[in-house]
């Protein structure tokens, strides 16, 4: 059987593209370090998240070491607690771990202008750790459609100079 050289060329090019595609999908799924929301953050009762051992009252808490803070956020239709009615305040030059859960439907949790982007799933606690070096203001948005008021679900995160951050802001 004779295969024309142009057919052979296109066959090789198509196979190379398939291998390249499979390689990029594999790298994106395994090599880049991204993961899905799982139960490593723990599970909570979606009707009362604060009743669980691994989720505190929403707010900012001192972390396990100096300069580390834990922020517990509840996403619910159509607000973040804290974040919507009062901004989340953390000091600059600190490491912050966000613990996010939902009490009703699936929500998104994105801190605009950073690489923080996770899903808030009812019954699951998503944890994301980030370092904030400079004072700045960031928006919090829900990027998963969560109902008719989704477009109003926003909040704010204020990274303030360490001198302006007081321990009274920490629960």
Torsion of CA 95, 72, 46, 39, to 10 degrees: 10
pLDDT of residue 2: 84
Per-residue pLDDT reduced to its tens digit, 123-171: 889 999 999 999 999 999 999 999 999 999 999 999 999 888 876 667 6
Evaluate whether 140 touches 104 at the Cβ level (below 8 Å).
Answer: no
Q: Is the pLDDT of residue 36 over 70?
A: no
State whether residue 75 is helix, strand or coil. strand
Mean pLDDT of the chain: 88
Q: What's this model's pTM, rounded to 2 decimal places?
A: 0.77
Residue 90: Cβ within 10 Å count: 22
Q: What is the pLDDT of residues 88-112, one digit of tens each?
A: 999 999 999 999 999 899 999 999 9
109: cis peptide before it, omega within 30°?
A: no
Any idea how long the chain is? 171
Of the chain, the percentage scoring pLDDT greater than 90 comes to 57
What's the pLDDT score for residue 167?
Answer: 63
List pLDDT tens digits, range 57-93: 888 998 888 889 999 999 999 999 998 899 999 999 9
| Concatenated DSSP letters of 30-95 | IIT------GGG-B--TT-GGGSTT--SSEEEE-SSTTEEEEEEEEETTEEETTSSS-EEEESSEE
Mean pLDDT computed over 9-19: 96
């Amino acid at each position: 059987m004779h295969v024309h050289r142009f057919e052979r060329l296109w066959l090789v090019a198509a196979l190379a593209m398939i291998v390249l595609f499979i390689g990029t999908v594999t790298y994106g799924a395994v090599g880049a370090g991204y993961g899905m929301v799982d139960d490593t953050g723990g599970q909570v009762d979606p009707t009362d998240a604060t009743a669980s051992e691994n989720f505190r009252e929403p707010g900012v808490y001192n972390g396990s070491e100096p300069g580390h803070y834990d922020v517990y956020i509840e996403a619910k239709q159509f607000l973040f607690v804290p974040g919507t009615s009062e901004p989340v305040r953390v000091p600059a030059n600190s490491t912050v771990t966000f613990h996010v859960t939902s009490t009703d439907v699936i929500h998104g949790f994105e801190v605009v202008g950073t690489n923080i982007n996770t899903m808030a799933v009812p019954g699951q606690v998503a944890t994301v750790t980030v370092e904030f070096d400079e004072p700045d203001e960031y928006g919090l948005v829900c990027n998963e459609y969560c109902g008719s008021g989704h477009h109003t679900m926003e909040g704010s995160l204020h990274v303030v100079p360490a001198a302006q951050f007081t321990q009274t802001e920490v629960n």
